[in-house]
Amino acid sequence: MPSLLLETENLTVTYGSYAALKKVSFSVYEGEIVAIVGPNGAGKTTLLETIAGLLRPKEGVIKIQSRDVTKLGPLQRRRLGLMLIPQEQNIFFSMSVKDNLQFGAFYENKRTTSELLKRVFQSFPKLRDRITQLAGTMSGGEQRMLAIGIGLAANSRVLMIDELSLGLAPKVVGSILTQLRNIRDETGTTIVLSEQSIKALDVADRVYGLEAGEVMFAEYTQHLDRDLIKSIYLGA
């Protein structure tokens, strides 16, 4: 039985008088791919940013491997293996692909960094082809691959990817999602996706549905009515 790696208990986050999250309890087991689906404004980004330590909850607890990290900062959580890949500003545009990846591996030694970069290039061969190219000159899909590559180079145990499909063609989204599943299968990396694309259900083991800051359902993917989820939570 996989061990519980990440969880929140009754997480509440407010912006002034507005409650963006309302007593959200959420769990991720080691080696899972978990998708968080919901319309714009559902609280998906707020949930991931709070777990990463960028936002402080009004109430509730965040745990990594049963350790309460609610009061720890983003860097401390990063050192525990938690990595957020935000939907924007997730790469250094004026730096080369190689420099971006090496920045991701900042806390690793030279030998480990070399092995991690090999893993990145195995997962995303296009990045090897672009290794000296400035990140800001690549296509949107390649930039998203690089952002994920930075997370892999950081040797993260949990990759949280916010709105993977934003601004990308469906074919590119499908390709990246397939590669994420391969990464999980080959390395055991745990992955959390916040997503508005129905394609996320092709790779996720479990799905949480958020609406107006509340968890409306949490279920294994094979038990879901995909058409119902698509029409209600994915805006189709």
- Contact call for residues 14 and 55 (beta carbons, < 8 A): no
Instruction: Return all residues near 133 (Cβ < 8 A) that are at least 6 apart.
Output: 96, 97
Q: What is the pLDDT of residue 235?
A: 53
pLDDT tens digits along 49-100: 999 999 999 999 999 999 999 999 999 999 999 999 998 878 999 999 999 9
Instruction: Return all residues near 18 (Cβ < 8 A) that are at least 6 apart.
Output: none
The two tokens of residue 181 are 């599943």
Q: What is the pTM of this model?
A: 0.92
Look over the chain and give the mean of its residue pLDDT values, rounded to a whole number: 92
The two tokens of residue 182 are 């391969």
The two tokens of residue 2 are 């996989």
1-81+190-236 placed in CATH 3.40.50.300: yes
Q: What is the pLDDT of residue 229?
A: 79
Domain ranges of the chain: 1-81+190-236
Does residue 174 have a pLDDT over 60?
yes
Distances (CA, A) of 52 to 66, 90, 101, 142, 165: 16, 14, 20, 24, 20
Q: What is the pLDDT of residue 234?
A: 64
pLDDT tens digits along 24-36: 999 999 999 999 9
Comparing CA positions, the residue from 176, 190, 195, 210 lying closest to residue 42 is 210
- Residue 178's pLDDT band, with cuts at 50, 70 and 90, is very high
* Dist CA 205 CA 203 (whole Å): 7
Q: What is the pLDDT of residue 112?
A: 85
Does residue 198 have a pLDDT over 90?
no
Q: What is the pLDDT of residue 236?
A: 46
Q: In what order do the strands lie in the sheet with 190-195?
A: 82-85, 158-162, 190-195, 33-37, 206-211, 214-220
Percent of the chain with pLDDT over 90: 78
Percent of the chain with pLDDT over 70: 97
Q: What is the pLDDT of residue 231?
A: 73
